[in-house]
Amino acid sequence: MYYDAIETGRRIQKLRKGKGLTQEQLASLLKVTDRHIRSVESGERNASIDLLVSLSDIFNVSLDYLILGKQTRKQMKEEIHAMLENLSAMVERL
């Protein structure tokens, strides 16, 4: 297992979109440029530890998740719960 800047960027992008934030809005929260966010999300640049810590706080995820993609039990439970809700809604429509 190793650090993959592209995968980390994809996770950050997914989290950002999940919160309904634009790159500009996230950049403003982090006090960086939107160009920097684009570079991190595309994997062109590595995120600094300070940036990762701030992202972890904003998105309420662990550093393990941001850096390695490891989910906590809480994250897995929330994801399963969301899937079950979606499945229930689909069943009701049938």
Task: Give the pLDDT of residue 55.
Answer: 98
Q: What is the CATH number of the domain that holds 29?
A: 1.10.260.40
19 vs 74, higher pLDDT: 19
Q: For residues 47 and 66, what is the distance between their CA atoms, to the nearest angstrom?
A: 10
Q: What's the number of domains the chain is made of?
A: 1
Task: Give the pLDDT of residue 15.
Answer: 96
Task: Give the pLDDT of residue 7.
Answer: 95
Residues contacting 13, CB < 8 A, separation 6+: 41
- Residue 1's pLDDT band, with cuts at 50, 70 and 90, is low
> Does the structure show a pLDDT above 80 at 75?
no
> Does the structure show a pLDDT above 90 at 74?
no
Q: For residues 94 and 23, what is the distance between their CA atoms, to the nearest angstrom?
A: 38
* Residue 22 structural domain: 5-93
Task: Give the pLDDT of residue 31.
Answer: 97
Q: How high does pLDDT run on average in the chain?
A: 93
